[in-house]
């Protein structure tokens, strides 16, 4: 039985915001949007533990937009910072040195560079120790903060500053993304989900649902990146929605390891519709259309959803290639 959620329509998105307006991040930052939504569900008693990335710039002394606590740690070890804070709060409450009303939800917030690459060891350690914390990865699919270099979250076909499309490498990046969801799932945390702010109700429900579990709660949120992906900042929600509707960004969760897709498009839209809107994929369309690469991306999406539809028992209309 599913628990009744507080969040059923967009009208249920809480008005109360824990981030003040303004701030020093790029206009249209999908990562910031994810942080805002996440915070709305968790409420004010939060300590964010951050690793180097775009969000680091958000807390810019003395202009701190947060109405909650913040710690910048280092690139590789935000989950270990979360461990220290969680343990300290537990000890201090147990010893009666602070009242329970001073307890905080401990949330790691990192980009994909930290989550997929340099911080994977400390993430693995924290999950292994069954740390009671939230991990929010805003996945803009590259090292966005340093100027959009390839990360192990960068999709096939994307050009980045370090994998530009050239005559010898016409596809741009040719490495497949690491499957971080499955890497995390192999550690057996109680709750994992993917998110996109474009499906806000699904987003809020998942944060709410995860809150019901003690232990590691892990979230990978797609984070549209106007500067890195190359689109108009006002289009972030539209881009993220296209990613979901083309099947490129599946929205799913794993409760105690059991995977379920939470948003299933009845018919996938062609990936081409998504790729064509972003500068990072323009080399697939001009000067000549790289049908081979586009087809490869479409085939990967199709085979993913075919498998899922089979396992979870739903019908989905794939795109013919």
Q: Which is nearer to another protein, 106 or 193 (CB)?
A: 106
Least distance in angstroms from the C-beta of 279 to another protein:
26
Q: Which is nearer to another protein, 82 or 171 (CB)?
A: 82
The rounded distance, in Å, linking the Cα atoms of 252 and 262 is: 5
Least distance in angstroms from the C-beta of 59 to another protein:
5
Least distance in angstroms from the C-beta of 105 to another protein:
10
Query: Cβ(108)–Cβ(136) under 8 Å?
Result: yes
Residues contributing to the site for another protein (CB under 8 A): 24, 44-45, 47, 49, 56-57, 59-61, 64, 66-74, 76-85, 87-92, 95, 97-98, 101-104, 121-122, 124-125, 128-129
Query: Cβ(126)–Cβ(146) under 8 Å?
Result: no
The rounded distance, in Å, linking the Cα atoms of 88 and 25 is: 31
**Positive or negative, the Cα torsion across 256, 258, 264, 270?**
positive
Least distance in angstroms from the C-beta of 146 to another protein:
14
Least distance in angstroms from the C-beta of 4 to another protein:
27
Query: Cβ(259)–Cβ(185) under 8 Å?
Result: yes
The rounded distance, in Å, linking the Cα atoms of 204 and 222 is: 14
Residue 179 structure tokens: 């499957």
The rounded distance, in Å, linking the Cα atoms of 310 and 318 is: 13
Q: Which is nearer to another protein, 77 or 173 (CB)?
A: 77
**Positive or negative, the Cα torsion across 145, 146, 150, 151?**
negative
Least distance in angstroms from the C-beta of 204 to another protein:
22
H/E run at residue 35: helix 30-42
- Gyration radius of the chain's alpha carbons: 19
Q: Which is nearer to another protein, 67 or 311 (CB)?
A: 67
Q: Which is nearer to another protein, 58 or 192 (CB)?
A: 58
At residue 32, the 3 state secondary structure works out as helix
DSSP string, 202-259: HHHHHHHHHTTSSSEEEEEEE---IIIIIS-GGGHHHHHHHHHHTTSS-EEEEETTEE
Q: Which is nearer to another protein, 46 or 195 (CB)?
A: 46
Q: Which is nearer to another protein, 117 or 235 (CB)?
A: 117
Q: Which is nearer to another protein, 118 or 309 (CB)?
A: 118
Least distance in angstroms from the C-beta of 53 to another protein:
11
Least distance in angstroms from the C-beta of 27 to another protein:
17
Least distance in angstroms from the C-beta of 223 to another protein:
19
b or e along 197-228 (b: 16 or more beta carbons within 10 Å of the residue's beta carbon)? bbbbbbbbbbbebbeeeebbbbbbbbbbbbbb
Q: Which is nearer to another protein, 73 or 158 (CB)?
A: 73
């Amino acid at each position: 039985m599913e628990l009744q959620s507080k969040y059923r329509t967009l009208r249920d998105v809480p008005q109360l915001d824990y981030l003040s307006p303004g701030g020093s991040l790029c206009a249209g930052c999908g990562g910031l949007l994810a942080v805002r939504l996440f915070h709305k569900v968790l409420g004010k008693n939060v300590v964010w533990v951050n690793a180097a990335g775009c969000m680091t710039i958000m807390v810019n002394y003395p202009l701190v937009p947060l109405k909650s606590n913040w710690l910048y740690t280092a690139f590789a070890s935000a989950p270990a910072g979360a461990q220290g804070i969680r343990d300290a709060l537990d000890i201090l409450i147990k010893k009666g040195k602070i009242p329970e009303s001073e307890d905080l939800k401990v949330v790691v917030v990192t980009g994909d560079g930290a989550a997929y690459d340099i911080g994977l060891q400390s993430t693995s350690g924290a999950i292994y120790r069954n740390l009671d914390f939230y991990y929010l990865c805003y996945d803009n699919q590259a090292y966005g903060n340093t100027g959009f270099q390839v990360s192990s979250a960068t999709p096939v076909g994307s050009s980045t500053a370090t994998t530009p499309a050239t005559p010898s490498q016409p596809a741009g990046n040719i490495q497949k993304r690491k499957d971080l969801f499955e890497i995390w799932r192999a550690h057996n945390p109680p709750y994992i989900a993917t998110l996109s702010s474009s499906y806000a109700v699904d987003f809020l429900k998942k944060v709410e649902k995860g809150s019901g579990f003690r232990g590691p709660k892990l979230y990978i949120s797609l984070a549209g990146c106007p500067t890195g992906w190359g689109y108009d900042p006002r289009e972030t929600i539209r881009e993220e929605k296209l990613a979901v509707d083309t099947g490129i960004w599946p929205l799913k969760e794993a409760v105690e390891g059991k995977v379920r897709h939470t948003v299933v498009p009845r018919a996938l839209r062609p990936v081409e519709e998504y790729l064509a809107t972003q500068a990072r994929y323009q080399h697939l369309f001009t000067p000549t259309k790289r049908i081979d690469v586009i087809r490869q991306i479409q085939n990967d999406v199709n085979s993913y959803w075919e498998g899922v539809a089979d396992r979870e028992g739903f019908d989905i209309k794939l795109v013919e290639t």
